[in-house]
């Protein structure tokens, strides 16, 4: 398994509160991603990062922000949680440059289950 | 933007039956193609991938997939499924930092 740790693994929070999910990697991979997984939608990209302090929006970025101050950590913040953000959130990493396995393979963390009530 | 379609939402098979899960994508340029599997309660794991070369790709656990460029397809196959293959399967297409997933196909294998 790729060295990816997500925290918290499970969280229940109230509508309107801010929530931060943390992704930590030990692989020194350049790219990090946050996806959400919902039934019938597969995985949808929220934000991704291509380096420290370099981030970009994905398909479903509204209501989310990210930060990457260190290579190993990528934080996802729900600024004001809503019930529609109840989901499973997966962090992922990849290293397109110089990777021996052909580069662009994305490896996933174990997921963070978020319930907004 | 590229998109990925998986035709079957839920497939139910008996053990030893053959499996084929369809995947089509919309992007016309060079892409990298993947199949991931997600066992109940677990994270996604890579089954196989295609970057270039032989369009028939073999992955783990006896799975294989064939890339047919003219059909924009990357179908997943297994000649004989087992109960332990019960899981959700996701096709994915990668191009220029954009990784798109299909909605997934849930496979149930009856013992």
Alpha-carbon span B61 to B84, nearest angstrom: 10
- DSSP letter (8 states) at residue A65: E
Chain B residues within 8 A of A110 when measuring between CB atoms: 42-43
Chain A contact for B53, CB < 8 A?
no
- What percent of chain A clears pLDDT 90, i.e. is strictly above it? 74
Chain B contact for A40, CB < 8 A?
yes
Alpha-carbon span A69 to A77, nearest angstrom: 14
Q: Which of A49, A20, A35, A47 is nearest to A88 (CA)?
A: A35
Q: Residue A42 is nearest to which of B1, B94, B101, comparing CB atoms?
A: B101
Q: Which residues contact B102 (CB under 8 A, 6 or more apart)?
A: A42, B4, B5, B6, B23, B90, B91, B92
The model's confidence at residue A2, banded by pLDDT at 50, 70 and 90, is low
Query: Which of A38, A104, A112 would best serve as a mutation to test chain B binding (most B beta carbons within 10 A)?
Result: A104
Q: Taking 90 as the threshold, does the pLDDT of residue B1 lie above it?
A: no
Q: A110 vs B42: CB contact, 8 Å cut-off?
A: yes
Q: Which residue has the higher pLDDT, A37 or B1?
A: A37
Q: Taking 70 as the threshold, does the pLDDT of residue B51 lie above it?
A: yes
Q: Taking 60 as the threshold, does the pLDDT of residue A101 lie above it?
A: no
Q: What is residue A40's predicted lDDT score, i.e. its pLDDT?
A: 81
CB proximity under 8 Å: B 16-35 to A? 32, 34
Six token digits for residue B63: 């799975």
Q: What is residue A99's predicted lDDT score, i.e. its pLDDT?
A: 43
- What percent of chain A clears pLDDT 70, i.e. is strictly above it? 91
- Closest residue on chain A to B96 (Cα): A104
pLDDT digits (tens, 9 = 90+) for B60-74: 999 999 999 999 999
* Dihedral angle computed from the Cα positions of residues B74, A111, B11 and B17, in that order, rounded to the nearest 10 degrees: 80
- Mean pLDDT score across all residues of chain A: 90
Chain A contact for B39, CB < 8 A?
no
Q: What is residue A100's predicted lDDT score, i.e. its pLDDT?
A: 44
pLDDT digits (tens, 9 = 90+) for A23-46: 999 988 889 999 999 988 889 999
How does strand A73-78 pair with strand A64-70? antiparallel
Q: B103 vs A42: CB contact, 8 Å cut-off?
A: yes
Across-strand partners of B46?
A: B36
Q: What is residue B30's predicted lDDT score, i.e. its pLDDT?
A: 79
How does strand B105-110 pair with strand B10-14? parallel
CB B61 within 8 A of CB B47: yes
Q: Which residue has the higher pLDDT, B96 or A12?
A: A12
Q: Taking 70 as the threshold, does the pLDDT of residue A104 lie above it?
A: no
Q: Taking 90 as the threshold, does the pLDDT of residue B96 lie above it?
A: no
Q: Taking 90 as the threshold, does the pLDDT of residue A69 lie above it?
A: yes
B62, with CB counted inside 10 A (0-12, 13-18, 19+), is: middle
Q: What is residue A93's predicted lDDT score, i.e. its pLDDT?
A: 92
Q: Residue B103 is nearest to which of A31, A40, A48, comparing CB atoms?
A: A40
Alpha-carbon span A8 to A23, nearest angstrom: 9
Alpha-carbon span B52 to B27, nearest angstrom: 16
Q: What is residue A17's predicted lDDT score, i.e. its pLDDT?
A: 97
């Amino acid at each position: 398994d790729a060295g990816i740790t997500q925290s918290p693994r499970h969280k229940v929070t109230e509508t309107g509160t801010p929530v931060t999910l943390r992704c930590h990697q030990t692989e020194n991979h350049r790219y990090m991603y946050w996806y959400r997984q919902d039934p019938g939608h597969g995985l949808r990209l929220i934000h991704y990062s291509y380096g420290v302090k370099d981030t970009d929006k994905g398909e479903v970025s509204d209501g989310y922000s990210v930060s990457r101050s260190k290579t190993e950590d990528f934080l996802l913040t729900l600024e004001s949680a809503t019930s529609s953000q109840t989901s499973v959130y997966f962090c992922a990493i990849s290293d397109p440059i110089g990777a021996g396995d052909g580069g662009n393979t994305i490896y996933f963390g174990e997921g963070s289950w978020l319930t907004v009530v | 933007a590229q998109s990925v379609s998986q035709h079957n939402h839920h497939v139910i098979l008996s053990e030893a039956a053959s499996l084929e899960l369809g995947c089509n994508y919309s992007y016309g340029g060079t892409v990298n193609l993947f199949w991931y599997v997600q066992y109940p309660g677990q994270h996604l794991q890579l089954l196989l991938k295609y970057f270039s070369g032989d369009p028939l790709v073999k992955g783990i656990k006896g799975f294989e997939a064939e890339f047919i460029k003219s059909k924009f397809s990357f179908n997943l196959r297994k000649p004989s499924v087992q109960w332990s293959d019960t899981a959700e399967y996701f096709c994915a297409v990668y191009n220029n930092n954009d990784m798109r997933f299909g909605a997934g196909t849930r496979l149930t294998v009856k013992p």
